[in-house]
Amino acid sequence: MSKFSVFLTFVLSLGLYVSQVFAQSSLEYAATVDEDRLSAAASEPEAWMSYGRTYDEQRYSTLTGINKDNIDQLSLSWFADMTTSRGQEATPIVVDNALYVTTSWSNVWAFDARSGELLWEFDPQVERTVGLKACCDVVNRGVAVWEGKVFVGALDGRLIALDSKTGELLWQTQTFDPERNYTITGAPRVIKGNVIIGNGGAEYGVRGYVTAYDAETGEQNWRFYTVPGDPSKPFEQPELFDVMTTWTGQWWLLGGGGTVWDAMAYDVELDLLYIGVGNGSPWNQSLRSPGGGDNLFLTSIVALDPDDGSYRWHYQTTPGETWDYTATQHIVVADLEIDGEERRVVMQAPKNGFFYVIDAATGQLISAENYVPVNWATHIDLDTGRPVENPAARYDVTGTPFIASPSALGGHNWYPMSFSQNTNLMYIPITENYMGYISDTEFTVNETGWNTGIDLAGGFGLVMASQGLPEQGTFLQAWDPVTQEEVWRVRHEVDNGPAGVLSTAAGLVFQGNRSGEFVAYDDMTGERIWSTFTQAGVMAAPSTFEVDGQQHIALLVGSPALPSEGPGAAAATTLASSNNSRLLVFKIGGTAELPRVPVESASDIDFDIPQTDAPNEVIAAGETAYTRTCAVCHGDAGISLRPDTYPDLRQSSRMISEQDWSAVVLEGELQEQGMISFANVLQDGEAEAIRAYIISRANTDADLR
Ligand code: HEC
């Protein structure tokens, strides 16, 4: 090599080096996500750029750095404690070396994905009273990123754009009337510069819709309503004219429901946006639409043009729904070979218990089979695409109570499933359950609380009094969408709800659970290959990414109170972190360790904590009602952060008797001291259910003993 060429090589390599350094620092945390990059996300497995990883929301990664040969060395690389202790449901987003995640109360956190260094934190300062409008906790499922911006939908309805590098607020816009009982818990999606967000609130009498905002400016580009409004006013969309004929009575005074609170997927090939539409408001159809009717677009998958929000097709899973059978569950787009033909399909396992495979271009039903026990319908008629109902299931029409499978929690709820291209199987977090439905004959609209139109407490009683009901349970299920059959299932030890799923090309399926574990399963057999203790219950789905040439897996942990029963729970309650929200990031050979939380025995309790014989369902209902109504003051999960002002109810002797309890909670004995009566807010039986929940917390919590 001549001197000159050596010199040239040196100069060139220097130039390369300099430009690489420059590129690296300018791209650092830049979230340079655009339509090309998102559309091709499947070919960039190092990143996890949108909620379901790819636009088709398969939650499948081709990374194989973590595999069956080395998984025994999978361990914690770094972790971060957050400041909220309510439910944690977000999927971490990773791009350009930054990891973005949300916690309850819509707080956003950004970390360096390699080191775990905190880059910034954003607290939207959601007013805590908004929590009273959230049916199912003040959760948030995550952010979307686009061209240097991070978007979050705040519980109070603001869509917020932040600078990806600094967390600085760029714009915010109110997406609904804050006077109405709407909330946002879902993750936004961005398609061609449109940030798309829905909302929740169908338990509280609202009308559902989804809206697209300009990513640059926050200006509204389009809005699609899922149910017709007041027919005396102009229709917002042409198809609502036909849709209106599927409704009767004065549904618009009750809102109608149909909120789009979670699922969205985008088909790049067909240029279609699919949205999952929720339940009716109120649940009870005879009260909502007294003459019956399909009540479109409730419980439907609707395909829209992502550019202007115009309607393309719909498939309704539960016509005339009356059981809270939302179709807001995770929607996955994939190519399947069915009867020797390549089909582009949309798949969903909605609450109603059937797994649907639908033609992605037309909305035509290809197949549907039940993935959990179902008794409200015998099957789905493939010619009509409609369920063949069990007439007894319509408690609202017959006037006779009915115990339905699945329950209103669904065979599958918001917990993300995962479609593996390695096995062509869908891994679904499922629950086998049932619930008693009794029409509320004295229904009147409740402005501040739930409006289901069913007697929830009576339904509990009905289930309690019934003999020989099948066992309930929580499972991870491997489902073949082509044959519509279960391939394997794993039972969770603690039956307190499942957690989201991830599958990878290394033949692994990852899922957390409520015993406080994070587990890897063999994707063909369900064999448990690896697990680690998370110190907290898990609900959220993991995501995976590659930095510094190494595959990592990120998981947000923290669920409502750890359960009091079941193997693993004892360990979990003694070692569990009192900070119930933590981000865990794993890699092969990670060396980080979670702190052991000292078990304090500081107790001011001068009475014997009573026992409760309330069944788990009642305790769970108590927890829900507590979280909705009391936690704002008395603290998340029953742990008061300001016990001098708001007594820690786990230490209150009021729990000993029903009379002492209801004197405060329902009759307002301590009204003057700021503890008002909640008689107008709580449903029948809820005060007692909360008491049972508090007793169970007092018995379980290690720091009280
Ligand atoms: C807006 C704030 C707020 C909310 C919401 C709230 N409380 Fe209270 N609660 C208080 C305050 C303040 C006290 C203390 C009153 C006093 O000084 O005696 C209290 C006291 C109590 C006590 C008596 C504790 C003791 O041993 O003295 C009970 C029991 C109780 N609350 C139950 C509930 C339940 C159950 C709910 C939900 C249905 C609830 N509270 C919701 C503010 C609240």
Question: How do residues 342-378 score in pLDDT, each as one tens digit?
Answer: 999 999 999 999 999 999 999 999 999 999 999 999 9
Q: What is the pLDDT of residue 597?
A: 53
Residue nearest to atom 41 of ligand 1 (CA): 630
Give the number of other Cβ atoms within 10 Å of residue 505's Cβ.
Answer: 16
End-to-end CA distance of the chain: 78
Cα–Cα distance measured from residue 289 to residue 229, given in angstroms and rounded to the nearest whole number? 13
Residue 572 pLDDT exceeds 50: no
Is the torsion defined by CA of 591, 118, 631, 676 positive or negative? positive
CA-CA distances (angstroms) from residue 480 to 349, 416, 423, 477? Answer: 12, 17, 9, 10
- C-alpha to C-alpha distance for 678 and 662, rounded to whole angstroms: 10
Greater confidence (604 vs 471) lies with 471
Predicted confidence band of residue 596 (pLDDT cuts 50, 70, 90): low
When pLDDT is cut at 50, 70 and 90, the band that residue 442 belongs to is confident
Classify residue 194 as exposed, middle or buried by CB count within 10 Å of its CB (0-12, 13-18, 19+): buried
Question: Does 436 score more than 90 pLDDT?
Answer: yes
Q: What pLDDT score was predicted for residue 134?
A: 86
Pocket test for ligand 1, best of 130, 132, 629, 634 (most atoms within 8 A of CB): 634
CA of 634 to the centre of ligand 1 (A): 7
Kindly report the backbone phi and psi dihedral angles of residue 437, in degrees, each rounded to the nearest multiple of 5, phi listed first: -110, 120
Residue 20 confidence (pLDDT) above 50: no
Confidence class for position 137, pLDDT limits 50, 70, 90: confident
| pLDDT average, residue stretch 9-33 | 60
The pLDDT tens digits for 69-79 are 999 999 999 99
Q: Ligand 1 centroid vs 177 CA: distance in angstroms?
A: 30
Q: For residues 104 and 477, which has the higher predicted lDDT (pLDDT)?
A: 477
Which of 633, 669, 690, 697 to probe ligand 1 with, by most ligand atoms within 8 A of CB? Answer: 633
Whole-number Å distance, alpha carbon 75 to ligand 1 midpoint, is 43
CA of 369 to the centre of ligand 1 (A): 48
| Cα–Cα dist 698/651, whole Å | 7
In this predicted structure, what is the pLDDT of residue 7?
A: 42
- Cβ–Cβ under 8 Å, residues 196 and 273: yes
Residue 681 Cα to ligand 1 middle (Å): 14
Residues 6+ positions from 410 with CB-CB distance below 8 Å: 325, 326, 329, 350, 351, 352, 353, 431
- Atom of ligand 1 at shortest distance to CA of 686? 38
Q: What residues are in contact with ligand 1 under a 6 Å CB criterion? A: 629-630, 632-634, 646-647, 649, 652, 654, 661, 664-665, 670, 673-675, 678, 682, 690
Pocket test for ligand 1, best of 604, 619, 628, 675 (most atoms within 8 A of CB): 675
Distance 647 CA to ligand 1 centre (A): 7
> How far does the centroid of ligand 1 lie from the alpha carbon of residue 454, in Å?
28
The top-scoring range by mean pLDDT among 87-91, 271-275, 444-448, 699-703 is 271-275
* Residue in 359, 356, 360 with CA at minimum distance from that of residue 348: 356
Average pLDDT, the chain: 90
| Portion of the chain with pLDDT greater than 70, in percent | 91
pLDDT band per the 50, 70, 90 thresholds, residue 2:
very low
> What is the C-alpha separation between 84 and 326, in angstroms, rounded?
28
| Nearest-CA residue for atom 8 of ligand 1 | 675
Residue to substitute in 627, 657, 670 for testing ligand 1 pocket (most ligand atoms within 8 angstroms of CB)? 670
User: What is the C-alpha separation between 399 and 11, in angstroms, rounded?
Assistant: 85
555 or 574: which carries more pLDDT confidence? 555
Position 516 scores a pLDDT of 84
